Every structure is written in structure tokens, then in C-alpha cells.
Chain A
Amino acid sequence: MIHLSIQKKLQGAEENMNLEAAFSVKEGEFIALRGKSGSGKTTLLRILAGLEDAQGEIIVENESWLSKVATLPPQKRRIGFVFQDYALFENMTIEQNLMFVQKDKALATHLLELTELTALKNRYPNALSGGQKQRVSIARALMKRPKILLLDEPLSALDPQMRNKLQNELLTLHKEFGTTTIMVSHDPSEIYKLASRVIELENGKIIHDGTPKEVLLKTQGSQKFSFEGEVLEIKKVDVIYIAIVAIGQQLVEVVISANEAKTLKTGEIVRLSTKAFTPTISHS
């Protein structure tokens, strides 16, 4: 069990912000941390890892990591940390990267097998692709058999196929090791696939804490279909108005009324929903 209750003053780009978060984590939970950039997600991870100081307390399995009287240094915390930019030791081979953390050949071999890196174990990080580097980074983080695995947007720099593959690998590793995991992620499908709980931050405060379904599915009432999108353009075609809205990677045209055309602005985030139709799904 992990109890965390911390405060820290952050200097934002425009104004100072107070990071204030308190929550408990059960052993083996997979938590996704989401929120706009600058909301304090990464800082929260770094405080948990001991890479940044803060007020408050962190108790992990009855061991105090942070309290009024003492702060446990990162070296003693038994955490695994996966950085967005991999942060591999460039002077060591893949296998040495793992063995540097812990001289446990059996575990290193096992992790290299699980992450399909065995054939590359004698290469240097410079010779690997982004996806391979991130797999090394994840394997390296597990070498210490950490109590908590912290992942800071681990897959955001990768292309969709690689992301998908690594999501499955993370799931496999989580099943195998059962490590309590906290991952910063922006991708709703990733969160839905991996996490059992989502915590959403805004301006340093927790605004949502629940299952991915509760937090991510933005449908309300009887609406069956609902998307969030950004208005890119509003144009007049003959007598009607059409808004071009970007939903994820897709663009759609929506007919709007003259009144809506007046109130909507380009760049605005809107919700598109419909009640009275039944969508059909076909293979694309």
C-alpha cells in the first residue's frame, strides 16, 4: 500500500502553481496519470522517485519515503523510472545497461527475452531504434524488482504501431511482475487498455480519480455517441453553415445553424454527439 500526500510550489510559465495531491495506491494497481502539460504530472512522478523534494509525506509499505523529518534519497527507494527520452547509459551495451542496475544475470536474460531484445544485447544504445531503446529502458527499470514502476510518457515519442506493440508488452510485464505502476499518458486508448485507475490533474490538483470508464467516457445522459473535437473552420455553403471539426486524426463536416455559426469560434473545443441513430461498424 502506498499513501501519498504532498504539496509543492511550482513556478509555472505564467504563474506560480501549487501542486497538491493526496491518494493511496493498492499493491499491483496500474494507474494512469493524465492532464494538460504543466499540470504537475511529471513533477508528481519525480517527487515519488525522490528526484525532487516536496512537503508532505509518502509511505510505501510502512516505510517512510518522505516526511517532515527525513527524505529518503532516490538511491534507497526501490523504484523503476522510465523516462520519455529513454535515458540509456550510452557507454554500455544493452545487457550492461541492465546489469549495471543489478548484477542478476538470470533476471536480465529473462527480461531481455520478454522484451525480444536477446539478439541485440551486445549492441550499444546508439544502434537501436526508438522502440527498441524504450524496451531496454523498461527492462532496465524492472531490474531492481521495484516496489513502484514510474513511467513518464514512455510511448509518446513512438509511432502508432510501435506504441501498440509496447502497450501489449507493458501489459505482459505487469502481469508477470505485478509491479505497482504509475504511468503518465495522454492517449485514452492506451489508458483504457493498460490502466485500472485514472487520476486526472489540473493546475496541480486532482480533478478526477476513478476507473478509465468513469473518467474517459465522456458521454452524458442518453447520448450514445459523443466526441470531443476542435473546430478548425466555419464556412458558409449556399444557405447553410458547415463546421469542420477535428476529432483525433479525423476531420468531419457538421451542419450547424446560423446562430451556432455566430457563437462558435475556430480553435474552440466542442463536443459532438448524436442521439437518434445507430452506428454500424465495418472493417476498415
Chain B
Amino acid sequence: MIEALQHIEFTPFFISFKLASITAFVLFCVALPLAWYLSQTRSRVKPFIEAVTALPIVLPPSVLGFYILWAFAPDSALGAFFEDAFGIKLAFSFTGLVVASCFYSLPFMVQPLQSGFESLNKNMLEASYVAGKSKFVTLFKVALPNIKPSLLTAIIVTFAHTVGEFGVVLMVGGSIPGETKVASVAIYDMVEMMDYTSAHIYSAIMVLISFVVLLGVYIFNAKQTRRFGL
């Protein structure tokens, strides 16, 4: 057991967390304006945007993975464009994995933010407009600081969900060691090769990290509730 721990290869974990961090950051930038728009609009297109945003929750990862792979393939329009214009290979690469993860985790970032914004007192936002503040300033100085629990939930759940994804990463990234082999895929490979000891250690580490992260979120949210009565 001790020996097994000494030989453990941490690269898949490192790739998992790198992927999750980048995905959470990119998604935050994309989802923030989208969630804000959805919370404020009365437009008729809102249900359509909401339905499209929620699709990754209900679709099997293999469906999403298949479409993304099909779009990323070097002989497809999108894949060819990225290859020619930026020299980026999307299929079976880390970059492709980030893009795929962003699609896959989009609802986990948008939905908590949107419901956070929707729960805000509308009069508070209007008080800011009346005070002469633009929508932009209101978003960053009034709306966001008042939805800290939702903000944290969105970022952490997106992060955790990306660490926990398997189907999409396997299809889009394959299992290239040091490039696209994330922890969840590594465990799958170990089980396939009947290396149960490593699979146990990897799985236990995943459970532990996930638990600690989620516990942290709930403790923070409980504290916020006590402090602000949110």
C-alpha cells in the first residue's frame, strides 16, 4: 500500500484541476452577462435561451461528446477553420477539452447566477439606477456582492462538475497521457487494466477532495446567511 502511494502519478489530477480552473474562469466571463440578461429581460426569446442553456444537464454526455467531436474534426468547417486560422487542433487536445467542458458545464454556471440575480430586490437595483449608476456599475457594485452564496455555488459547482466529467472528456479528448488524460479517465483506464489498487487510491482522493470542496461551500453559505440574513 505504502509503495503504491509512492509510485502514484499525479499528472491526471493536475490536468483535471487545470481543466476545471480554466473552464470555471472562462464560463464565469461568459455566463455572467448571460445570467444577468436572463434575469432582467422580459423578452419572448428567454425560454428558448434557457432551454438551450439547460440542454447539457439532460443530454447524455455521449450525445454532447459526439456532436462536439463531429464539429471539431479536422475535416469539419469549424475544425478546419481553427486549424488554418490559429493552428489549433481542437479534437484530442487540451484546448478542445476546455471548449467541450465549457459547453458541458454551462448550465452549472448560468443557473445559480441567474436565480441569484432573480432573487435580488428589484427596488434595490432601481435605487442604484436612480442614484445615477449605470447597469454595468449596478451589476458589479450592487448585484454581484449581494449574491455571494450564489456566486460561490456557481463557481465551485462548475469546477467540481468539470473535475467529475467523464463521457465528454473521453470522447473529445481521448486518453493522451500528460495532455488529455484527466483523473476520471485515468481511473477508467486502471479498472480496464485491472489495476484496482491504483483505482482505489485515485477514487478515494476524488471522493475526499470533492467532499472537502462541497463542505467548504455549505459552511460559507451558512455563514453568509447568518451575517446578511440572505
Residues of A within 8 A of B (CB): 49, 51, 73-77, 79-81, 83, 85, 87-91, 100-102, 124, 126, 140-141, 143-144
Contacts and interface: CB of A to CB of B under 8 A. Distances in A.
B127 A89 contact: yes
Contacts of A83: 123, 126-127
- The SS class assigned to the B binding surface is helix
Contact of A51 (B121, B124, B130, B142): B130
B228 A90 contact: yes
Interface in B196-230: 227-230
Given A91-B142, A144-B131, A144-B132, A85 B121 contact: yes
B131 A100 contact: yes
Contact of B121 (A80, A87, A126, A143): A87
B145 A91 contact: yes
Interface string B118-136: 0001011011111111100
B39 interface: no
Contacts of B142: 89, 91
Given A88-B124, A89-B124, A80 B130 contact: yes
A87 B141 contact: no
A251 to B, nearest CB: 36
Given A100-B128, A144-B131, 7 more contacts: A49-B130, A73-B129, A81-B126, A101-B132, A126-B228, A141-B130, A144-B132
B93 interface: no
A75 B230 CA distance: 27
24 contacts: A49-B126, A49-B130, A51-B126, A75-B129, A76-B132, A77-B130, A80-B130, A81-B126, A81-B127, A81-B130, A83-B123, A85-B121, A87-B123, A87-B124, A87-B126, A89-B127, A90-B230, A91-B228, A100-B133, A102-B131, A126-B229, A140-B131, A141-B130, A143-B131
A130 B128 CA distance: 20
A100 B230 CA distance: 21
Q: Categorize the interface residue count of chain B.
A: 20 to 34
Nearest to A51: B126
B146 A90 contact: yes
A100 B141 contact: yes
A102 B128 CA distance: 11
Contacts of A74: 126, 129-130
A10 B129 CA distance: 23
B130 A90 contact: no
A87 B127 contact: yes
A221 B10 CA distance: 95
A164 to B, nearest CB: 25
Interface centre among A79, A81, A87 (most CB of B within 10 A): A87
B129 A51 contact: yes
Contacts of A126: 227-229
Would you list the 4 A-B pairs with minimal beta carbon distance, nearest first? A87-B123, A91-B145, A101-B131, A83-B123
A144 B141 CA distance: 18
Contacts of B146: 89-91
A83 B125 CA distance: 12
Nearest to A85: B123
A51 B124 CA distance: 12
Contacts of A100: 128, 131, 133, 141
Nearest to B148: A91
A70 to B, nearest CB: 17
Interface in B34-90: none
A79 B134 CA distance: 15
Contacts of B133: 75, 100
Contacts of B121: 85, 87
A235 B53 CA distance: 65
A88 B141 CA distance: 13
A79 B126 CA distance: 12
A77 to B, nearest CB: 8
A250 B126 CA distance: 39
Nearest to B141: A100
B5 to A, nearest CB: 45
Nearest to B122: A87
Nearest to B134: A75
Contacts of B123: 83, 85, 87
Contacts of B127: 81, 83, 87-89, 140
Contacts of B229: 126
A90 B148 CA distance: 12
Contact of A90 (B124, B126, B128, B134): B124
A205 to B, nearest CB: 26
Contacts of A87: 121, 123-124, 126-127
Contacts of B126: 49, 51, 74, 81, 83, 87
A267 B86 CA distance: 78
